[in-house]
Structure formats: C-alpha cells, structure tokens
C-alpha cells in the first residue's frame, strides 16, 4: 500500500509549492481553496502583523495538533502539510484510510507559524527570537499564538515539524539522516515517563514503515533536555509531542524527495493514533534507532597536498543558504581540512594530489574545482 500512496503523492501533491523558499504568499492561494469540511481561520498575527492561520478538520475524539515552519527557513514540513490537505480532500482509492483518520481524529494544523522568518528565510522571527526556544518567556507573538491554541484545543498528541542541516548522518554510518525523530525529554534526567513511552510508540510505528523505504537513513535526534524548547515543555506539560526532522537525501537540495518521506511519516503517525490499536507497547524499539552524528559534508575535495602542512589533505565544504531575489542560493564554505576518511558527502571531487602552498591559496584552488 505504501508504494501506491507514493504514486498518489507524485500525482496529487501540492504542485504549486516547491523549493526551499516558502513565504506566506506561496500558501495563501491554497488556503483559499480549502473548503468544507476544512475550517480555515486567522488566529493571530506575527510581530510584523502577517496573519497566522489555523486549519481544522475531523470529528474524532483523538485531538492532534500539528505545526510547521516555526523556523522560517524550514519549509519541508509546510509542503508536506499541504500534500496532506490534498490527501484528506481527494484520497482516491485510499478513502477508507482517510475516513478512519477523520472519524477518529480531530486535526488542527498551523502550517506556517513564523511568516516573518519565512519571508526573510531566517530561523528566527522579526524580533530575532528563536520560537523553538521561547516556550517559557513567550516574548514572541507567534509563541503566544501557538500556546493559545494548545490551551484551547488541549491536544492528545502533537507533531512539531522541522528541517535539519545536511551535516547529520545516522549513527556510525555514512548515510545521511534523511528523516530524524525525537521524543523530547521532560527534564534533565531524560526519564522515560509514560508520556514519553506513548510518544516513542508513535515514532516506532513510523520508523517500522519508513525503514523499508529509506533503510538506514533514519536517525534519532538528541533528547538532551532544553529548558526553553517547545517540544520539551509541551511534553513536560502532558501534551505528548513528536518532532519530525527533514534532512538530506542525495542531490535533493530542494527537499522534494524528503517532502514525500515527511508526508508519509506524518500519515503513518496520524493513522497509528486513529486506528485505536495502541495497546502494544513497543517503546524500547525507539532506542534501536541510531543517534544522529555530524559526519556529512555537501562536498569533499580529496587528495590535496598542502605544502605548509606538509601533508595530503581533504577539504570538507558545507553550503551556506542565502536568499537572493526570492531564490535560495547554496554557497560553499570550507569547514574542515584534514583526513576526512570517516566522513561522507553529497559530492566527492578527487583532486589527484594537486599541490597548494597554504590554506589561503587553498581557497582559490577550491573555487576553481567547483
């Protein structure tokens, strides 16, 4: 069935949304197309007075809250949500799956929580506040909007959608962490509470299916407790919360393939909550998902002899994402020079023993290779 859902996605995703830059103006036409049974409402504004929208659908007892793009430059989840809206509107042969979800769940979505950051392609809002570190002080109006929804809706379960950097690999492997999951800790002890067990069980259900699609490319994000983080505080308050992080898939810098995997993960997770068959406790399998490591570069230039060091070196480059004329440009920057045999990269260039005098000259040499 998963293959058929992938086929559905290829034909029916929100095709007007693509790439990494996704400001509010991109989704507004699609919001206007969401008719009954969707309920679309404006529930507040950003610091710069841009609207923040809420979409509700479903009549079931299980209340699920899902939000995306609290970091303005993390748009993969937003694309996946609008793909989800299309699925809930027109599931075609999967109407039984859709009906199960809507009959058993009430879904509330905040598809773009940080419209100011989305406009400028920044992690933070217009006040330079990281909304994911504002759960206690709530200095940002966007944080207050999210917490108002939480208090009024009182969800049984939350999905917090993010993007993570290309640098992450899965465990000790050289595979990129294409999707990463996290069951946030409730305190510094990282105790596995009953609430975290429920969160972990949902992640295990998603992981079991996704491993068949991208084996070995699913990681576990660190569960270090962050006292001001949204997920940690929601979990601590009894609102079970899963983070789904969209990462890198080879050559997929627009994250269109990863968008599919994000959509599928979310669909699997929601269906797990909807079907009511959650008596079996599999939370221990959560710890079998490898932790993320930082062993990936966008480009590695291998085998360059640097006279100043008197050694053969590799050079690891990471792209810096810059918004230029409403397009995200990927500018390579040197991050590490040395023996990078334990690292992987999206692209490897063998420089075949080319000689440079020093690291200053190295920068000019690397530019010529790219």
Residue 247: per-residue pLDDT: 98
Residue bearing tokens 């793909």: 83
Distant-in-sequence, close-in-space partners of 156: CB < 8 Å, separation ≥ 6: 62, 63, 64, 239, 240, 273
The dihedral region occupied by 265, where left means phi > 0, alpha psi between -120 and 50, and beta the remainder, is alpha
Q: Which domains does the chain have, with CATH numbers?
A: 2-294 (3.40.630.10), 296-369 (2.30.40)
Q: Is 257 helix (H, G, I), strand (E, B) or coil?
A: helix
Q: What is the pLDDT of residues 1-29, one digit of tens each?
A: 899 999 999 999 999 999 999 999 999 99
Residue 370: per-residue pLDDT: 87
**Confidence category of residue 359, pLDDT binned at 50, 70, 90:** confident
Residue 321: per-residue pLDDT: 97
Cα 63 from Cα 195, distance rounded (Å): 15
Residue 280: per-residue pLDDT: 75
Query: Mean pLDDT throughout 64-79?
Result: 98
**Confidence category of residue 279, pLDDT binned at 50, 70, 90:** low
Copy the structure tokens of residue 155.
């969800």
Query: Mean pLDDT throughout 48-73?
Result: 98
Q: State how far the alpha carbon of 45 is from the alpha carbons of 64, 131, 138, 141, 143, in Å.
A: 22, 14, 14, 7, 11
Q: State how far the alpha carbon of 151 is from the alpha carbons of 41, 234, 236, in Å.
A: 17, 11, 14
| CB 109, CB 266: distance < 8 Å | no
In the chain, the percentage of residues whose pLDDT exceeds 70 is 99
Q: What is the pLDDT of residues 223-239, one digit of tens each?
A: 999 999 999 999 999 99
| CB 260, CB 6: distance < 8 Å | yes
pTM for the full predicted model: 0.96
């Amino acid at each position: 069935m998963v293959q058929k859902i992938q086929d559905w996605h290829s034909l029916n995703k929100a095709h007007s949304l693509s790439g990494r830059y996704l400001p509010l103006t991109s989704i507004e036409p699609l919001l206007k197309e969401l008719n009954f049974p969707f309920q679309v409402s404006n529930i507040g504004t950003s610091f710069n007075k841009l609207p923040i929208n809420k979409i509700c659908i479903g009549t079931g007892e299980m209340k699920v809250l899902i939000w995306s793009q609290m970091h303005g430059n993390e748009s993969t989840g937003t694309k996946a949500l609008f793909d989800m809206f299309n699925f809930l509107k027109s599931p075609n042969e999967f109407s039984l799956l859709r009906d199960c979800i809507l009959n058993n769940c009430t879904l509330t979505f905040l598809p773009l929580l940080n419209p100011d950051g989305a406009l400028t392609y920044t992690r933070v809002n217009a006040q330079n506040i990281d909304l994911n570190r504002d759960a206690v002080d709530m200095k940002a109006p966007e944080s207050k909007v999210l917490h108002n929804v939480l208090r009024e809706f009182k969800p049984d379960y939350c999905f917090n959608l993010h993007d993570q950097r290309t640098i992450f690999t899965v465990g000790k492997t050289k595979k990129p962490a294409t999707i990463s999951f996290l069951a946030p800790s409730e305190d510094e002890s990282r105790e596995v509470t009953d609430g975290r067990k429920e969160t972990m069980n949902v992640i295990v259900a998603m992981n079991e299916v996704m491993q068949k699609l991208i084996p070995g490319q699913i990681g576990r994000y660190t569960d270090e407790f962050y006292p001001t983080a949204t997920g940690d505080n929601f979990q601590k308050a009894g609102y079970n919360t899963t983070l789904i992080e969209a990462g890198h898939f080879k050559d997929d810098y627009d994250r269109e393939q990863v968008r599919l995997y994000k959509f599928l993960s979310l669909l699997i997770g929601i269906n797990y909550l909807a079907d009511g068959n959650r008596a079996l406790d599999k939370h221990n399998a959560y710890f079998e998902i490898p932790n993320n490591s930082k062993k990936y570069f966008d480009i590695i230039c291998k085998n360059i002899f640097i006279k100043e060091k008197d050694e053969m070196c590799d050079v690891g480059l990471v792209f810096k994402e810059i918004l230029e004329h409403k397009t995200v440009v990927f500018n390579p920057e040197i991050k590490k020079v040395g023996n990078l045999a334990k690292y992987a990269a999206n692209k490897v260039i063998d420089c075949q023993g080319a000689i440079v005098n020093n690291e200053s000259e190295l920068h000019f040499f690397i530019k010529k290779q790219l």
